[in-house]
Structures are given as C-alpha cells and as structure tokens.
Homo-oligomer: A and B are copies of this chain.
C-alpha cells in the first residue's frame, strides 16, 4: 500500500556575476545515474551532462533544508545563505527508473549566493543559466532560437486530434511564447520548457522516451540539456525568482555589500532577461528607500562616477509589514 519513496534534494544556487545570471553545476559524469549515462551515450555523444548539486535525504538530516545545505556544501564547497523551497516533483514515470523500483521524489530548492568569495570544491562551477534556456534572454532583443522554435510549435498546435484540442494547444503556445502579438511574459519559464519538452524540442524529451504523444521527436534540440530533471527544476527556479524580485527585495542577496544603481539594474535585468528603463528604475529604487549611500564614489564606471549604495536592512521590516497595501482596494482580481 504505502509506498516508500527515495527523496532527492536538489539545489538551484544562483549568483549574478558580470551581468550574467549563473547557476552552480557539477559536470554530470561523476554523479550521473545510469539513465543519465545511457542518455549521454545514446543521444548526446559522450558529452557529460551538467547537474545541479543534489543528494538523497538521509536520516541524519534533521530538516529537508539542512539536508540540502549539507549536500551543496559537500559537493561544491559553498555554504548557503538564502534558501527557499521550490517544488516537489514526483511523477511515477518521468524520473524514476523502471517499474518495481521505488519512486523518486525530488524536492527542488532555490538558493541565492554570490560568486565572488565562493571557493568552489571539486569540479563544481558556475554557468550562465541562459546556456540552458537561450530563449529566455531578451536583453538584446528577441532571441533567435524563437524563430527556429515557432514553426514546430505551430505544427504541434495544428496537429491536435479534435478541434477543441487544437484550440487549446494554440492558446497554450501563444500564451507561453508570446506569438501573434501577444506579449512575452518573463515568468512563464516553466511553461515554456514543459511545452518544448512535450513537443520534443529539448534533448531530455528524447531521453525520457516521450511515448505519450507518439509523435516523432523533432530534430531540434534547443538549449543545453541537464542530468535527470534538473533543467525542469532550474526552470522552476528561474520562474520563481523572476516573479519574486518584483515584490520582495531579494536581488540584494545577490549583490556585494556596496554597489552602484546601474550594477543593481544590470543584476535585475540579468535575472528577468529584459532591459529596464534606467531613470525609472532608479527612481523606483530610491523613492522606495531600498538603498542608502555609503558615501563612496565609484569611478570605474566608464562614464561619470557613481555613488556607491548599500541595501537598507530596515526595509525588511518596513516593507514586509505594510504588505497589506492592497486589501483595502486592490485585493480583487
């Protein structure tokens, strides 16, 4: 009856360095499961697959989060500060191995860190996250990948069995990828990845068989794949973080003690994958009292020197308390 499950803790550790969002990964080889190695051989040559730091929950771990921290530290030498649970994945067929084997549950976590000062252990390293999701970076305009993806997407939408099915698919494609003039939504990262997976446009779909649809897997394999369902977990993390920076001062976890407003803006842009209006951005940050001047002047800006600022710790108090701003009117929708 009750089924014992093996629980895997997986961390998406994020940092922003040189205006690029990075994730902490370990080349998959060492920790790859049999399935991963099979995949590596069969479909992707013998290229190692990047993997997120992760490990099984053990009895010595008092809490899930403690277990996660322990694994990340052991595998990458990084001690985590900000940590937040993301989602628990547990489809019977998608990740666990053959029948009979007990189910694998993976609990994903998002951690925010700073690359500077992190002495990495072993083969762990930081990779730009857009390497895995090239279609998510709109900072220099619409990514070219989208042109390659659009046709298969529309083909899939039109291939539904019933009329209703076709409408639903088309709607899904349009909303997720902002087709036909619909606006691109930076937060739909997971939906986009899931859709590409279903259509067979990402390597993991081929590996997992994708028997469901029965359709031939497309030749296109966009973005670099990851071990196990790590790319899916990473997508979840990006989506969550992109949503969160909009209403909670979390970017600061990724910044050094002192920074300029442009540096802050670049960090947000890196995460959100879009460019922001400079003047309005600083007005927002300043008027909200999120930062205060340190008194220092940074001259290495390439232009006029900038004032150095730091995060105002007090806002955590001020801001999180008055959270009730909306109820008295906006609470609807």
Q: Quick check: B105 and A91 within 8 Å, CB to CB?
A: no
Assess the A333–B4 pair: CB atoms within 8 A.
no
CA–CA, A174 and B3, complex, Å:
43
Residues from chain B with Cβ under 8 Å of A268 in the complex? 331-332
B329 to A103, Cβ gap below 8 A? Answer: no
Scan residues 289-333 of chain A and give those whose CB is less than 8 A from a CB of chain B.
290, 317, 320-324, 326-333
In-complex Cβ contact of A333 among B103, B290, B317 (8 A): B290
Q: So how many copies of this chain end up in the complex?
A: 2
A228: interface (CB < 8 Å):
no
Interface centre among A4, A56, A102 (most CB of B within 10 A): A4
CB of A98, distance to nearest CB on chain B (Å): 13
A88 with B64: CB separation less than 8 A = yes
Q: Are A91 and B103 in contact (CB under 8 A)?
A: no
Q: Determine how close the nearest CB of chain B comes to the CB of A101; give it in whole angstroms.
A: 10
Question: Contacts A92-B62, A93-B62, A185-B324: A329 and B7 contacting too (C-beta < 8 A)?
Answer: no
**Docked CA distance A57–B187 (Å):** 30
Say whether, besides A57-B103, A324-B185, A331 and B5 are in contact (CB < 8 Å). no
Q: Is the CB of A58 within 8 A of B2?
A: yes
Residues 239-266 of chain A, each 1 if its beta carbon lies under 8 Å from chain B, else 0: 0000001111101000000000000110
Interface window among A25-33, A140-148, A217-225, A271-279: A271-279
- A320, B192: Cα distance in complex, Å: 14
Contact A2 B185, beta carbon cutoff 8 Å: no
Nearest-CB residue, chain B, relative to A277: B329
Find the residue from A90, A178, A280, A285 having the highest chain B CB count within 10 A: A90
CA distance A3 to B321 in the complex (A): 40
In the assembled complex, the Cα of A59 lies from the Cα of B184 at a distance in Å of 39
One digit per residue, 1 when the CB lies within 8 angstroms of any chain B CB and 0 when it does not, for chain A 104-145 equals 010100000000000000000000000000000000000000
A248 to B185, CA, bound (A): 14
**Contact of A331 with B281 in the complex, beta carbons under 8 Å:** yes
Q: Check if B324 sits within 8 Å of A183, measured CB to CB.
A: yes
Contact of A162 with B by CB under 8 A: no
Cβ of B6 and Cβ of A7 under 8 Å apart?
Answer: no
Contacting pair B1 A56 (CB below 8 A):
yes
When distances are taken between beta carbons in the complex, the residues of chain B under 8 Å from A6 are 2, 4-5
Does residue A85 face the partner (Cβ distance < 8 Å to B)? Answer: yes
If A284-B330, A321-B185 touch, whether A63 touches B88 (CB-CB below 8 Å) is no
Q: Does A81 touch B at the CB level, under 8 Å?
A: no
Q: Determine the distance from Cα of A117 to Cα of B178 in the docked complex, in whole angstroms.
A: 38
**Contacts A178-B321, A183-B323 supplied; 12 other A-B pairs, CB < 8 Å:** A3-B58, A57-B90, A62-B92, A64-B105, A85-B87, A85-B88, A184-B324, A246-B331, A265-B332, A274-B324, A280-B328, A284-B329
5 smallest CB-CB distances across A and B, nearest first, come from: A4-B4, A185-B323, A2-B56, A280-B329, A64-B90
